[in-house]
Structure 1
Amino acid sequence: MPPIRSSPVAAPLVAALETCWSAIQVQHGDVPDVVVSVGAGSTSHGRLKLGHFAAGRWQRGEDKLSELFIGGEGLRRGVIELLATLLHEAAHGVAMTRELQDTSRQGRYHNARFRAIGEELGLGLDHSATDGWSTTTLAEGTAGRYTAAAAKLKRALVVHRLAEVGAGGRANNNNGLAALCGCPRKIRLSPGAYELGPIVCGVCRHPFIAVRADEADRA
């Protein structure tokens, strides 16, 4: 009897992300081409990276291509939040194309130029003292521009990356899981409560996502 093979998972996901990015490019001509990568979004500084645009990270012939990184832990947020992340990173790409400085503090603080580009791309942006105009949601009517691409992305969102809770040889905290939002603020909760569904931060509007115990302790 031949072995049972599961359906591909990563390839449809990356293809759907590429389709969404192409749809954004159709709407906004200054959005550059990218190489899409998906990986761990938990950082050594205890922050959760939902996405990242990095200029000139890849080489194709004589040309350099930028990278679009999507944090796998954030895939559990769903297609609307993921589309907001894609548009956020696309705004950084537009700033690169236009040779505008849209951030400071090693890319953490998002300035008024970023806000203007983000609103141009259909984002709603909220301001914080630490990150500037970084917190993004979809403005009214934006999702309707990407109906077909978003439907393909929704079908591909069958997995999300599990946080490596308790990794590094450390015992799990007796209070349960540690989870960070985008601020980042930290909460602890039981695994059962965490798996019931997303818990959204009222400040940054991003869900709390479980991280490794050592990362949470540094937050």
Structure 2
Amino acid sequence: MLENGTDGPRIIAAIETAWEVLQESHPELPDVYVIVDNAGARHNLVTPDRLEADMRLELPVHRDAIAAGPRAVLEAVLHVATHALCQVRGVSETSNRGMRHNKHFRDTAVELGMKWPTGEPPHATKGFSPVPLTPEAESGYAPLVAALGKSLDGVVVGVAESPAKGKSGTRLTLQCECTDPVRTFQIGPRIASVGPIVCGVCGAEFTER
């Protein structure tokens, strides 16, 4: 979790700005809002449970990426952006419940400045993931990494609490401070106990209602 309550909105704004920079060169990318993901199971855009016509998709960024620094955050965002480009184009980029990344993911990643090492076989379970940045892309993204670094400066990411045991099948309904529209979703108690989930719209933590 983020130790300082003011860190969340600042980090979220910086990551959303980074996404907007990617949209300038890749207008196919949809509008998003960022959530800090403590579970770590998601690596693509998420459709909210109650999707309105003008609502943005959720861009989850794992707390470990934030703790690792601006380069890791950028790589996480680029990974999600690769999935997003495939999805808006109707291209199937993964198999095995999203775990294995195929050649379509690899080839699309090239458009975002990443390239799979020549001659290197795919990972046994992840496939072509993660795809590393090229030296040219590292140079091009340097100003963006620097901007993210300023936003992450001084941020302390605490250790997530041990997951609590809950009854099988139990679901919690969490809600933030948004009112138009009200934003809620359901989640298992074990995942909810890992740490706070922050809304990218109002900046408040989702809590049980």
TM bucket normalised to smaller: 0.5 to 0.7
Structure 2 runs not aligned, ≥5 long: 166-193, 195-209
- Give the whole-Å Cα distance in 1 for the aligned partners of 2:5 and 2:162: 30
Deviations 1:8-59 (A, max 9, x none): 21111001000110111112222221121003145xxxxxx5x622343265
- Give the whole-Å Cα distance in 2 for the aligned partners of 1:55 and 1:76: 22
- Map of 1:67-216 to 2, 5 A cutoff? 67-125=58-116, 127-157=122-152, 158-164=154-160, 168=164
Q: Percent identity?
A: 27
Distance 1:75 1:125, change over 3 A: farther
- Give the whole-Å Cα distance in 2 for the aligned partners of 1:53 and 1:61: 19
In the superposition, the TM-score normalised over structure 1's length comes to 0.63
- Give the whole-Å Cα distance in 1 for the aligned partners of 2:15 and 2:107: 24
- Structure showing greater relative contact order (alpha-carbon pairs closer than 8 Å, 6 or more residues apart): 2
Q: Shift of residue 138 of structure 1?
A: 1.6
Instruction: Report the aligned-residue RMSD.
Output: 2.6
Q: Counterpart of 1:21?
A: 19
- Give the whole-Å Cα distance in 2 for the aligned partners of 1:16 and 1:105: 33
Q: Shift of residue 155 of structure 1?
A: 1.2
Deviations 1:121-160 (A, max 9, x none): 1113362011111123221121333344322211121335
- Give the whole-Å Cα distance in 2 for the aligned partners of 1:12 and 1:166: 26
How many residues of Structure 1 are paired with residues of Structure 2 in the alignment?
A: 158
The answer as to whether partners of 1:95 and 1:114 remain within 8 angstroms in 2 is yes
Deviations 1:81-108 (A, max 9, x none): 2211111100001011101111111111
